[in-house]
Structure 1
Amino acid sequence: MKLPLNLGITVMLLLGCTSESPTTFLGKNPVTVKFEKSYNLDGAIIPLEILGTQNIYILDSLLAITTPQRDTLYHLVSLPGFKQKKSFIRKGGGPNEFESALRPLAVEKKGDDLLISFYHRARQGIFHFNLTQSWLHDIDIFQDTIKLEKLNEIYRAYNIDNESIFVDNLDFLNLNQLYAVYQWKNQYITRLDTAVVSGLSDQKDSYLMASTTIFDKSKRKYAGGMMFMDQLNIYDIENPEKSIAITSSSSPESLSDASRTIMPLKKEYYVDLRAGNGFLFGLYANQNRKAWAMGDTPAEIHVLDWDGNALCKLTTKEKLIHICIDPVNHTLYGLAEKDEIYSYNLNIVPELAN
């Protein structure tokens, strides 16, 4: 028996198509927002010559520069004058190799000491680096490891209070992102939410769920800018029903769409996300990987509040690969590709001015 020509073509087309699996955040699609206002920032290059710069961070009144190709992983300069300099966290080997120490989670005061927290897979938990005592004694001093023994595939972990840890971890079997509140002293989970449902079916595509993230301890909120999808997720730990995902696209593609695109043509969106003065700053590429790597496109930075409201868009003449915010001096710092660091005055932006 032969199928009619038109019917046969239709059947083949249907069999040949792969249905799209949406990417959702807490069961909802992202809300489309528009950045109506735009401001151009003029940059001033900082007179620092530090080779092998990978990333930049603000640690209290210091600018920290990660230098993984050197003997020490961090180089510090004081703000705003860039005069005092210090290197810390020497490279280790074997169990002392701090492969994740290039990604500080948070910095906070404990008494007179400034502590930087890191998540370390081999140590199965969060450990702290005492920057103050390390600076004074010229040795690396680590302390206060918080064990997270009953959780696997941890992506980020942040200290909420003296008993609770917020954990972002991957459900590798179903390829979903899970958010949990973990009581570390008693080693049990008090809250668990399936946050991001990726829609992916192949575990080799799990890297597409990569996000650059930030946690605000005072607001009890966690934000993640997705790298391979035009989506920024804001999770409210105290009130998960108020959590929101936003996009600047009227028809954002899903991660399933991204998985079907060859690597050089996969689009990158949020390549960095930082916070300062109560706002989020997302460095937004919106280009395929080849164009982003080889091009010299001026930076575009989305500014929004922690409720997901779009405030404005910032642009610079320079292409930036990372940013950080100095909330005290109202300055945005940007890292360019040739180890150059630029400073930008945020006081010219009415929405951000003191």
Structure 2
Amino acid sequence: MPRKFHPPLSVLLIILYSQINFGCSKKDESARKVVINNFPINMTLHGEPILLNEINSSQLYLVDTLLLVEQLELKQWNFNVYSIPELNFVGNLGRVGDGPKEWRKVRFSHQTEISDSGKVSLWVNDIRHARFQLVDLRSNLNKVEPNIFYDFKHPKELDLIQNLIYLDSNKWVGNLGPNSLDRGRFLVYNPISRTTNLIPFNLNVINEKMLTLDDYYDIYFSSLRVNKDKTKLISAMHRFDRIDIFDTSNLFKPILSIVGKKMSDNLDASKIKQDNSYLRIFYFDLFTSESYIYALYFDQPYYFYGNNLKSTEIRVFDWTGTPIAKFLIPEYLTSFTIDEKNGFIYGASYFQEKIMRYPFSLNE
């Protein structure tokens, strides 16, 4: 049931609010389950280093025919922008600052809108200023004050600092940051009525009272994306070997789960509190197209992250959950994006200080 959002007024309210939300972690049995056994295409991809001056980036985004490379130092601009596949520098996007048309720290969810005239705009979650904006891409390159089609503030107390997806004018979906008092799979927010609806976890949690708010954030964080017609929301979990797809038109009912062979529907909180090695990193980034789901896969103990720079994988599924391909990537990727038209995967290896490009095909 949607509820009116109110910022916390006292410690008592915080405790009460947390206790209410902790009771939501019940698994929904209605989702169809696909257990991954094998992939028809299973091969190693060998790529080439590109953009050799871009050694300090952890995020890549492909929008139309432009590659956006995040600038972590944030001196003047949020992104350097290159044409693909030529990789010519075409400009910068998102002036760094605290003005109404400047960004301090942003997140994209690979969500774009195409106008009748063919102009491509992208949705931007300005997490530092708690603003959600729709920005025309090409006309705003190198502009200090860009043209913004849609600009709406969201309450900082919700802590929507990660993926934020626009479904319609009164329905956004986002995953929650570490400072949120809510703990669920994701949050549905109505910016008109300022009401929220917390979608629960679809796992059975044993000894749940042992989990703190920080534990919930670490355990249940996921990458969110939406399909082209906005009818399906996909959530790939970082700490569990599972991807879940939800029906956006039916109260966000889970309709499909793609899980690894050893993935259990039960989580024992006592094991997490007693043994750090119980937690692993599985899905780390996500890209969706009209026909396919691409997921960056680690399968690495959490405490090895950033230290043991192992090979990674790009796993490909169709929207029915059928495994299509598994590409072994020799580099330790932290972000990737897909150019299906030209047959390239672009990947950022932040810890190895390089950006790679890999040719690929989904034809056997």
Q: How high is the TM-score relative to the length of structure 1?
A: 0.78
- The answer to whether 1:158 aligns with 2:165 is yes
1:60, distance to aligned residue in structure 2 (A): 0.8
Q: Is the 8 A contact 2:314 2:326 kept in 1?
A: yes
- The answer to whether 1:342 aligns with 2:356 is yes
1:262, distance to aligned residue in structure 2 (A): 4.8
Tell me how far apart the structure 1 counterparts of residues 103 and 321 of structure 2 sit (CA, whole Å). Answer: 34
Return the letter of the residue paired with 1:119.
Answer: N
- The answer to whether 1:82 aligns with 2:90 is no
Tell me how far apart the structure 1 counterparts of residues 271 and 92 of structure 2 sit (CA, whole Å). Answer: 40
- The answer to whether 1:269 aligns with 2:272 is no
- The answer to whether 1:63 aligns with 2:70 is no
Counterpart for residue 3 of structure 1: none
Equivalent in 33, 57, 60 of residue 53 of structure 1: 57
Tell me how far apart the structure 2 counterparts of residues 24 and 310 of structure 1 sit (CA, whole Å). Answer: 27
Counterpart for residue 33 of structure 1: 36
Q: How high is the TM-score relative to the length of structure 2?
A: 0.76
- The answer to whether 1:282 aligns with 2:289 is no
1:59, distance to aligned residue in structure 2 (A): 1.0
Equivalent in 303, 325, 328 of residue 312 of structure 1: 325
Tell me how far apart the structure 1 counterparts of residues 277 and 96 of structure 2 sit (CA, whole Å). Answer: 33
Unaligned runs of 5+ in 2: 1-22
Unaligned runs of 5+ in 1: 1-20
Equivalent in 238, 255, 263 of residue 227 of structure 1: 238
Change (3 A) 1:151 1:35: farther
Return the letter of the residue paired with 1:206.
Answer: Y
Identity of aligned residues (%): 19
Please report the RMSD computed on the Cα atoms of aligned residues, expressed in angstroms: 3.5
Counterpart for residue 257 of structure 2: 245
Equivalent in 203, 213, 224 of residue 203 of structure 1: 213
Counterpart for residue 124 of structure 2: 118
Tell me how far apart the structure 2 counterparts of residues 279 and 221 of structure 1 sit (CA, whole Å). Answer: 13
Q: Which moved more, 1:99-108 or 1:65-74?
A: 99-108
Instruction: Encode CA deviations 1:245-292: one digit per residue, 9 max, x unaligned.
Output: 221133436373663255576311111111235211111111112334
Q: Is the 8 A contact 2:97 2:104 kept in 1?
A: no
Tell me how far apart the structure 1 counterparts of residues 55 and 133 of structure 2 sit (CA, whole Å). Answer: 28
1:73, distance to aligned residue in structure 2 (A): 1.3
Tell me how far apart the structure 2 counterparts of residues 317 and 156 of structure 1 sit (CA, whole Å). Answer: 27
Tell me how far apart the structure 1 counterparts of residues 107 and 156 of structure 2 sit (CA, whole Å). Answer: 24
